[in-house]
Structure 1
Amino acid sequence: MLAPVGMAMALIVTAASIYSFSPRHVPPLQETRIPVDRMQLTTIERSKAGLVIAGELGSILVSADEGQSWKPATISHDRQALITRIVFADPARGLALGHEGWILRTEDGGLTWKEVNFDESNGEPLMSARQLPSGDWLAVGAFGRVLRSTDDGRSWQADSLPGLTDWHLNDIASSADGQQWMIVGEAGTALSSSDGGQSWQAIEPFYNGSLYGAAHLGGDRWVAYGMRGNVFFSADRGASWQQAKVPAPISIYGHAVLPDGELLLVGQGGIVLSSRDGGTNLNIVRREGRASLTDIVVTGDGRWMLSSDGGLQVRTPASANQTQNDGAA
């Protein structure tokens, strides 16, 4: 009996070995979904690569299909630092700005990024940047920090502007022709330039709180926005300002100017505000959720792609009258 049993066991072991090493079809792993709808996102822009968003832990994501799917960009250094803003000078060239003076540069619309500045000893964030008509880049950030690049963003040096203190600088914006410029920040800090950023003048304070952004609306008209629903408009290149009528005391963090001149502002409480009169009056056109909206891009089919501290939000436009009526009901 022992011989047949031994032979049977040997055959079993042999068969098991053959099976273990034989080629087998392995089902493909399920594609990992990027939780773009749950991430902290601070900025969204459009480039030749598609839509580009960024935010928590140095994440930069790109969508080539109008937000239907996303893939991570290639970044030369993983710093795990919050990215505060992405800006593009043209469809290919752009910068990503973050904490610790972090600056990344792209030449392919945001698919790949190369680190060009990082300062571990200085943890203050950079908040905004733009390329001036001269070709220089100017970046601004916390505690009045200003950096300049004279080689298309490849290297950076500390710079200063007249009239600045150590208040945070939150945004630098320009007119479409690149001649008018505005810098806004904490404690009502505001500077203007009418010669393409060659010279800057401090604007007499018209608000004592933080201004988070500015938008040029054509001609000599500007809008600046900030804390607790404070929005101001100027019809003389920033020489004088009037306060706009805003229906909700929410902080406003981002904007878009549509081809027909409509101004959209986004902020706390999932609120989107609209103005069709140059920022004089604003109406609530969308109020949804509790997330703070940080930036907005409008797609070709009219959808609003909104970055927020609660992830990417996708909304369809609604008229101010419809939203107000819905709220009254």
Structure 2
Amino acid sequence: MKTAVGIGAAALVAFASALAFAPRTPPPLAPSSIGVEGSHFNAIDQVGSRLLTAGAMGEILYSDDRGAHWALAKLNQDRQALLVSMAFAPDNKTGLAVGHEGWILRTRDGGSSWEEVAFTKENGEPLMSVARLPSGDWITVGAFGKAMVSKDGGQNWQPMTLPAEVEDKHLNRIASSADKQHWLIVGERGLVLKSDDAGATWQAEPAFYNGSFYNAMATKDGGWLIYGMRGNVFLQAAPGAPWAKSEVPAAVSFFGHAQEQDGTIVLVGQGSMLGISKDGGKSFALQRAQGRATLTDIALTGPDSGWISSDGGLQPFSTRAKAASASGQGANP
């Protein structure tokens, strides 16, 4: 790390859900599966028919029965460093996971086992997000403007050229459109980088907000939804349209998202709060999930179900349960 203070700042600002809480010791193994209650998980993804989750102490777990049972993936290096983000190639076999100390792991078997390809014990900036471009290149971004590209499947990495506006800002998330032709990188101090050529080149969007963005998602209308700290959510309704602030009834920081088949957008964030939008992201109602944890990510496994990761473990997500509690719109966090 550059300095202890610098890493503290990265931990608090870059991705609050992943970095602001001390890792927790995972529960003991159950006879037939891994317990997922109480551990700190930062990312959860549906990869083909498999669920994968990663987080504190470098743990990666997978489930082949929609979360009924979990198994611990094999890692060839036990760094016990925080993992923040995962991404997979279209074959659902090759994937990368990234985290603190510049840690990069690669899998070739869909997440059952992982090998270390990079780790920087001294002065290693946290890596916050990873993605695979249509070209086959992999990119990863992180704290202090860190951005790298790999052209050989993640084995070797070189600095990635980004606009000067990046400076030393923390880069928190890489997001893409469904067709992988349009991309965003979002970060602190309102930074939004955009690519309309499948990630080949990047341009900075004109500033429209001065706080931290934690994540972004493409909308079904070809626009973008960007969100982050203190309930600040912004919608670009269509390509090139102006950015408009969405209506959110409380200052809840959001970190992950999913979109249901009917178009409903679900954001997850601090205080176990869910942000629910039925109008394409123009406005959100708040509802509370289980407990009081910081929700970090969400993955849908079917038309009415899924899983949410948090700093307090994994919990099931049910559209039916959400609908049953719809009277809680506007609930205080």
Call closer, same or farther: CA 1:242–1:75 in 2, change over 3 Å.
same
Tell me which amino acid in the other structure corresponds to 1:123: G
Instruction: Report the equivalent of 1:63.
Output: 63
Structure 1 Cα separation of the partners of residues 238 and 224 of structure 2:
8
When the two chains are superposed, the root-mean-square deviation of aligned CA atoms in Å is 2.1
Deviation at 1:160, TM superposition (A): 2.6
Deviation at 1:85, TM superposition (A): 1.1
1:300 aligned residue (276, 299, 302): 302
Deviation at 1:321, TM superposition (A): 7.1
Using CA pairs under 8 Å that are at least 6 residues apart, name the structure with larger relative contact order, 1 or 2.
2
Deviation at 1:54, TM superposition (A): 0.8
Call closer, same or farther: CA 1:322–1:138 in 2, change over 3 Å.
same
Structure 1 Cα separation of the partners of residues 101 and 137 of structure 2:
21
Mark the runs of 5 or more structure 2 residues left unpaired by the alignment.
Answer: 1-28
1:275 aligned residue (277, 281, 286): 277
**Sequence identity of aligned pairs in percent?**
49
Tell me which amino acid in the other structure corresponds to 1:47: V
What is the TM-score when the length of structure 1 is the normalising length?
Answer: 0.86
Instruction: Report the equivalent of 2:154.
Output: 153
Mark the runs of 5 or more structure 1 residues left unpaired by the alignment.
Answer: 1-28
After superposition, the C-alpha distances for 1:268-300 in whole angstroms (9 at most, x for unaligned) are 111111112221011124443210000001122
Do the aligned residues in 1 keep the contact of 2:287 with 2:330 (CA within 8 Å)? no
**Higher alpha-carbon Rg:** 1
Instruction: Report the equivalent of 2:113.
Output: 112
Structure 1 Cα separation of the partners of residues 158 and 212 of structure 2:
26
In the alignment, is residue 319 of structure 1 matched against residue 323 of structure 2?
Answer: yes
Matches within 5 A, 1:229-268: 229-237=231-239, 240-268=242-270
Instruction: Report the equivalent of 2:20.
Output: none
Do the aligned residues in 2 keep the contact of 1:49 with 1:108 (CA within 8 Å)? no
Deviates more, 1:163-172 or 1:300-309: 300-309
What is the TM-score when the length of structure 2 is the normalising length?
Answer: 0.85
Structure 2 Cα separation of the partners of residues 234 and 33 of structure 1:
43
Deviation at 1:320, TM superposition (A): 8.3
Give the paired residue count. Answer: 300
Call closer, same or farther: CA 1:52–1:245 in 2, change over 3 Å.
same
Call closer, same or farther: CA 1:303–1:321 in 2, change over 3 Å.
closer
After superposition, the C-alpha distances for 1:8-40 in whole angstroms (9 at most, x for unaligned) are xxxxxxxxxxxxxxxxxxxxx972763311101
Instruction: Report the equivalent of 1:175.
Output: 177
Instruction: Report the equivalent of 1:24.
Output: none
Structure 2 Cα separation of the partners of residues 134 and 319 of structure 1:
41
After superposition, the C-alpha distances for 1:163-185 in whole angstroms (9 at most, x for unaligned) are 32101000011101111110100
Instruction: Report the equivalent of 2:167.
Output: 165
Instruction: Report the equivalent of 2:104.
Output: 103
